[in-house]
Structure 1
Amino acid sequence: MKWQRAAGLMLLALMLGGWHAVNPGTGPGPGKGSATGWPVPRFASLRSNEIYMRAGPGFQYPIIWVYHRFDLPVEITGEFNVWRHVLAPDGGVGWVHEALLHAVRSFIVIGGRHTMRAAPRADAAPVAYLDKGVIGLITSCRQDASWCAVEAGHRHGWLRRADFWGSFPGEAIK
């Protein structure tokens, strides 16, 4: 009886491991989602102010994290039916129902305080000062550019890609 339970748990572990075989943080590439056919990994954002992240792809799995940040960027690292395996900027990993995510490209400021500039140059006029944890929208990034056009708190400007989490190095965002 014990060997049957152990075999069942091992099979479950192998199945869970296969659902997100792409390493997070590598950026859009040859990986394709099994449910959507879209690139994996990719970024999305939370669609609500209360999102439950679960231990597995289904409502029967326990809630392991509750996020209360509308538009928080998350990295989708795998798919199973209507469930997305996600990595949050704080390192939280789990499964979120697809209805709770949207394709809005957002960012979260990392590190300390950073300056949003009027142009993509370090000597451009400051538009706003963004503290760690500020969430905003990415309006565009050129491929291999170190600055992205962003919006935060009704302010528009440019922010260094290294100052936020929500895009892959060298990724073009339109």
Structure 2
Amino acid sequence: MLESPTPRPRNSTHEWGRAMSMGATLLGLLLAAVPIAAPTRSLAQQQQSGPVSGLPIPRFVSLKSDRVNLHEGPSKEHRTLWVFERAGLPVEITAEFETWRKIRDSEGTEGWVLHSLLSGRRTALVAPWKKEPTLAFASDRETPVARLAPGVVANLRRCDGSWCRVAGEGFDGFVKQENLWGVYPGEKIE
């Protein structure tokens, strides 16, 4: 036979503490469910100066040579992770150490290369994440002038934050900036 518990005298301090605890829990759940608007930072605010070069980090550059070894760490003694075989390929510098630069490619692979194997020349990959070609347009941005396959390397001529003028073997036209890897969203290049 079950017995009912003996009634306890009411403890207002205990009930108040429990109510506060439940209120705090509910407030926490409510705040977790509602996204808090954080101020967005511009590219310039997100970048810092590199400790060696004084240039912005992160920043895009391109490979200078047809053969560039990607190392696990910032020295030739570190294991070679990958060998890039495409001069002009855009990469992003994410760190610096002496004569070495930590880079990331369009697929997210990271490693270290000698700074002398990098060029400040800006290039971009045409939508490597897409399966369909990207159109390049004439200056009116309405007349298609080329169909660019995913992964084509293009030289960046200029970008206005929405469109970039690109050129390469057999093409010269404007591509939406969102369809390029090697230029930041909203970045302007003169």
TM-score by length of 1: 0.79
Identical-residue share of aligned pairs (%) = 36
Distance in 1 between residues matched to 2:77 and 2:43, nearest whole Å: 31
**Equivalent residue number for residue 130 of structure 1:** 148
Distance in 2 between residues matched to 1:66 and 1:120, nearest whole Å: 40
Pairwise CA distance, 1:164:
1.2
Helix, strand or coil for the counterpart of 2:124?
strand
Which of structure 1's runs of 4+ aligned residues deviate more than 3 A?
A: 26-30
Worse-superposed segment, 150-159 or 45-54 = 150-159
Read off the aligned partner of 2:58 and give its amino acid letter: P
Helix, strand or coil for the counterpart of 2:48?
coil
Query: CA 1:50 to 1:120, structure 2 compared with 1: closer, same or farther past 3 Å?
Result: farther
**Equivalent residue number for residue 119 of structure 1:** 139
Read off the aligned partner of 2:54 and give its amino acid letter: G
Q: Give CA deviations for 1:125-153 in whole Å, capped at 9, x if unaligned.
A: 111110011001000012xx311111021
Distance in 2 between residues matched to 1:157 and 1:47, nearest whole Å: 24
Helix, strand or coil for the counterpart of 2:60?
strand
Structure 2 residue aligned with 1:108, among 117, 122, 125? 125
Pairwise CA distance, 1:39:
0.4
Distance in 1 between residues matched to 2:64 and 2:121, nearest whole Å: 9
Distance in 1 between residues matched to 2:147 and 2:67, nearest whole Å: 27
Worse-superposed segment, 111-120 or 100-109 = 111-120
Distance in 1 between residues matched to 2:65 and 2:126, nearest whole Å: 19
Read off the aligned partner of 1:136 and give its amino acid letter: A
- Asked if structure 1 preserves the Cα contact closer than 8 Å seen for 2:47 and 2:58, the reply is no
Distance in 1 between residues matched to 2:98 and 2:122, nearest whole Å: 23
Within-5 A mapping of 1:44-59: 44-59=61-76
**Equivalent residue number for residue 169 of structure 2:** 153
Gaps of 5+ in 2: 1-41
2:113 pairs with 1:93 = no
Gaps of 5+ in 1: 1-25
Distance in 1 between residues matched to 2:170 and 2:55, nearest whole Å: 31
Q: Report 1 or 2 for greater relative contact order, CA contacts < 8 Å, sequence distance ≥ 6.
A: 1
Q: Aligned-pair RMSD on alpha carbons?
A: 1.4
Distance in 1 between residues matched to 2:73 and 2:138, nearest whole Å: 44
Structure 1 residue aligned with 2:51, among 26, 34, 52? 34
**Equivalent residue number for residue 170 of structure 1:** 186
2:95 pairs with 1:78 = yes
Report the number of matched residues: 145
Pairwise CA distance, 1:27:
4.1
